[in-house]
């Protein structure tokens, strides 16, 4: 991935796709910008969403949010407004806007705020596990994460993997012995100490309520809830759709917080149909 200086920071990004396809943007295929959630690099989109979007003729930009090396880690802290400004500056840097935008979890919140603050940069937006507020469970969970980070608590690898699976996967996935084993092995292998930049992402303000503000969003938006999501329950995603004028809502069954990885075909179908509509 190349590095660009945008919004005063170094940001790691990648654009794929053939500009010779389509006619929507500067003689090339329309640009889709994908925004990842807390703690994950942009390359996670490469597993399922990028290939599907490329096959449909889109150009696709993935990037590492502030906090994820080699993008500026911002270990001293960051705000959602800085993440939004980073994304806006990247779209301006690429000079292919307005873009189709999709984000998941924290990335969905960035997409929501981007659609509100910079509508000229957003053609349509999809919010996977989006939310305009957090309920009491999410707030307490976040405070618990902060305490673990502050006290440098490291859970045993297998227990950490099991907890990650319970919080992010559907019971339908965990009921499949082979899938459960593969996911648990993956979580155990990729676990370990939390880097400073990810700690900074997790320290961002969680006491917010933006639903009233989202009444000012004017671009076409689709909120997607995952039926078995424990991290961001689907009713929080539905609230965003209800708040946005003309907002639409769809729910993916048998999917947890990582629904875009658990049910990629369903999620890709939703993205492609909404972007093409």
The whole-number pLDDT of residue 94 equals 94
Active site residue 257: yes
The whole-number pLDDT of residue 150 equals 87
SS3 sequence of the chain: CCEEEECCEEEEEEEECCCCCCCCECCECCEEEEECCCCCCHHHHHHCHHHHHHHCCCEEEEECCCCCCCCCCCCCCCCHHHHHHHHHHHHHHHCCCCEEEEEECHHHHHHHHHHHHCHHHEEEEEEECCCCECCHHHHHHHHHHHHHHHCCCCCCHHHHHHHHHHHHCCHHHHCCHHHHHHHHHHHHHHCCCCCHHHHHHHCCCCCCECCCHHHHCCCCEEEEEECCCCCCCHHHHHHHHHHCCCCEEEEECCCCCCHHHHCHHHHHHHHHHHHHC
Domains of the chain: 3-135+208-276 (3.40.50.1820), 136-197 (no CATH)
The whole-number pLDDT of residue 139 equals 87
The whole-number pLDDT of residue 154 equals 87
Active site residue 229: yes
The whole-number pLDDT of residue 28 equals 58
Q: Which of 64, 86, 142, 257 is catalytic?
A: 257
The whole-number pLDDT of residue 148 equals 86
The whole-number pLDDT of residue 22 equals 43
The whole-number pLDDT of residue 173 equals 97
Q: Which of 40, 105, 142, 170 is catalytic?
A: 105
Residue ranges of the chain with pLDDT lower than 50? Answer: 21-27
The whole-number pLDDT of residue 146 equals 85
The whole-number pLDDT of residue 21 equals 47
């Amino acid at each position: 991935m190349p590095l660009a200086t945008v919004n005063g920071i170094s940001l790691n990004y990648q654009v794929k796709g053939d500009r010779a396809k389509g006619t929507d943007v500067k003689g090339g295929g329309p640009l889709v910008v994908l925004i990842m959630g807390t703690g994950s690099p942009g390359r996670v989109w490469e597993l399922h969403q990028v290939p599907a979007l490329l096959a449909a003729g889109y150009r696709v930009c993935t990037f590492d949010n502030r906090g994820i090396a080699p993008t500026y880690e911002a270990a001293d802290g960051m705000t959602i407004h800085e993440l939004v400004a980073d994304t806006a500056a990247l779209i301006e840097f690429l000079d292919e806007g307005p873009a189709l935008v999709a984000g998941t979890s924290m990335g969905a919140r960035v997409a929501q705020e981007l659609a509100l603050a910079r509508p000229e940069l957003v053609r349509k937006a999809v919010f996977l596990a989006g939310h305009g507020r957090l309920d009491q469970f999410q707030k307490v969970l976040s405070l618990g994460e902060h305490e673990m980070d502050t006290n440098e608590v490291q859970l045993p690898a297998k227990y950490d993997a099991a907890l990650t699976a319970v919080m992010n996967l559907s019971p339908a996935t965990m009921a499949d012995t082979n899938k459960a084993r593969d996911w648990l092995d993956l979580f155990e292998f990729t676990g370990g100490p939390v880097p400073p930049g990810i700690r900074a992402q997790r320290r961002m303000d969680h006491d917010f309520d933006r639903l009233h503000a989202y009444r000012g969003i004017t671009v076409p938006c689709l909120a997607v809830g995952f039926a078995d999501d424990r991290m961001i329950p689907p009713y929080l995603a539905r609230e965003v759709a209800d708040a946005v004028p003309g907002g639409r809502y769809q729910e993916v069954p048998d999917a947890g917080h990582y629904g875009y990885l658990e049910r990629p075909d369903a999620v890709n179908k939703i993205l492609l149909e909404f972007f093409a509509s």
